[in-house]
């Protein structure tokens, strides 16, 4: 199982890699994802998708809805995602370059990302 610190480190890496043009200073447990980090619902979906790819798992639609509907602290956001690593044996946290891509089918997150990234 991954520790809270390992999950937080991974989510920070995801945020930094997805949004390199933004300057995030001191992302802490209490940091608000929306008001302080200025992340919108599409940003949250992208973070969850990257998390799923890195760990090779699928976050449930129910939890994804929770993450999208509420203004979460960074720590609470990580806590929800940590429960998905409960049955995973600890290994070095994969980076995006080495992780095998997993395309979650028929999930809310995949549909949202597809909808927002579709060429018009």
Number of domains the chain is built from? 1
Residue 98 — pLDDT band, cuts 50, 70, 90? very low
Three-state secondary-structure class, residue 33? coil
Three-state secondary-structure class, residue 93? coil
- Alpha carbon 85 to its chain centroid, in Å, reads 13
pLDDT tens column, 56-96: 899 998 888 888 877 678 998 998 899 888 877 666 555 55
pLDDT for res 90: 62
- Give yes or no for residue 118 having a pLDDT over 90: no
Q: Identify the CATH number of the domain in which residue 39 sits.
A: 1.10.1200.10
Residue in the block written with tokens 């409960």:
86
pLDDT for res 109: 64
pLDDT tens column, 31-50: 999 889 999 989 999 999 99
Tally DSSP H helices, then E strands, for the chain. 5, 0
pLDDT for res 64: 86
Q: What domain range is 100 assigned to?
A: 4-117
């Amino acid at each position: 199982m991954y520790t809270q610190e390992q999950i937080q480190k991974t989510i920070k890496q995801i945020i930094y890699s997805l949004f390199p043009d933004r300057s995030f200073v001191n992302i802490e447990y209490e940091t608000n994802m929306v008001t302080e980090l200025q992340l919108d619902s599409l940003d949250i979906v992208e973070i969850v998708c990257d998390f799923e790819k890195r760990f090779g798992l699928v976050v449930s639609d129910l939890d994804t809805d929770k993450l999208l509907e509420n203004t979460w602290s960074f720590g609470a956001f990580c806590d929800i995602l940590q429960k998905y690593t409960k049955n995973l044996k600890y290994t070095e946290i994969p980076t995006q370059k080495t992780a095998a891509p997993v395309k979650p089918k028929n999930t809310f997150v995949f549909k949202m990302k597809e909808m927002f990234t579709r060429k018009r």
